[in-house]
Each structure stands twice: as structure tokens, then as C-alpha cells.
Copies of this chain bind each other. A is one copy, B any other.
């Protein structure tokens, strides 16, 4: 019966705070694959009871961000190579379409903003900041896709990002070479030129990129 401490600012429900917090942590790769999560642990961490923690976890399991064992234990997923390839193919499918739809609406202000984000990415890479890199990279893609005016597609793309989150982080350690995102420049060039086939190819390449390393 512990009293509700924060009398004001409960505009957002408890389970939503847990959900959003966990979701961004997973998507940005802050949690490594296979990491276990417990209801009581999460409840303590977010200062809520088990009930909202359970709702948040169930939702993330439904979205594929977490896996649940037969006994109900949940952890971040350890993806097989087949699954990773499949998710990369999904990214390619959906994001190429999103980019294509965004192209006619991409004016200069957007391109400049993308360039700014891209510089930020280069910084994170130089600093070996894996989480910052993943986060900024997703910002780049999301900023572009928002112009597509296709919320359902964007939601699907984000769900795929979510499923790949922990793996992307683990992958980051393997590709040692501090390579700035080469294909982002191609994306920007295609956007400026209004070159749709070029844009499709650039996005597909960017999305498929690092994942190829893994299957080797």
C-alpha cells in the first residue's frame, strides 16, 4: 500500500514509463543479448509494482524485443544468423520503400538536418561510443522516414530495429574498423539529386552493410 510519492506529473502511466525506458535501452543496444530481466527487479528499478512491469515486458515480448522461455523467464534475444539475415531483409524491404516515399518530400532543410546527424554519427564512431552510434544512426533513418508520411510502415521498421538492438550492440564490437557510415553519403547525394533508383540502392546497401560481416 506504499503511498504514491509523486503527487503531480503522473500524466504518463507507470507501465508506459517502464515500457518506454526499456524499449529505448534495448533499441539502442544498452542491453547485451541474453541478459535476463525479472519483474521484481524491473519494478524496483522503475519504482513500480510487478503489475506494470509485467505489462511492459509482455508488450516488449509481443514486439519481439524480448524472448520468453517456457517457464516465463524473459531475456534479451540471442538471434541466430538466419534470423538476423531475415530481419536485415525486412529492413531492406521496408526502409527502401520508406525512403522512396520520403524522396519527393525531402527538401533542403531535411537534407541539412540529416547531414548534421551524420556528423554526429562520425563523432560517436571516433569515440568508440557504441550506444551513441546506434542511437544516432537510428535518428538518421527515422528523420528521413518521417517524411514518408507512413506511420504504419515506420512502426514496422522500428519494431525490426528493436529486435536487432541487442545484436547490433554485440556486432559493433566485432567490426573494429572505426568506419563512418559510408552509405549515408550516398543516401544524401541521391536525395539531393532526386535520384530514386540511387536512393533505393543506397538505403539497401546501408541497411544490409555490417550484417554481412556476421554471416561470414
Contacts and interface: CB of A to CB of B under 8 A. Distances in A.
Interface of A: 15, 51, 54-55, 58-59, 62-64, 83, 86-87, 89-90, 93-94, 97, 150-153, 155-156, 159, 163
A103 to B, nearest CB: 15
A150 B83 CA distance: 8
| Copies of this chain per assembly | 2
Given A62-B63, A93-B94, A93-B97, A86 B151 contact: yes
Nearest to A163: B152
5 contacts: A59-B62, A62-B62, A64-B155, A87-B152, A93-B93
A77 to B, nearest CB: 11
B152 A86 contact: yes
Given A62-B62, A93-B97, A153 B86 contact: yes
B89 A97 contact: yes
Contacts of A59: 58-59, 62
A161 B152 CA distance: 13
A163 B93 CA distance: 20
Contacts of A155: 64
Contacts of A94: 90, 93
A157 to B, nearest CB: 11
A96 to B, nearest CB: 9
A146 B59 CA distance: 25
Contacts of A163: 152
A58 to B, nearest CB: 5
Given A90-B94, A90-B156, A93-B94, 15 more contacts: A51-B51, A55-B55, A55-B58, A58-B58, A58-B59, A59-B62, A62-B63, A63-B63, A64-B152, A83-B152, A86-B151, A86-B152, A89-B97, A89-B150, A93-B93
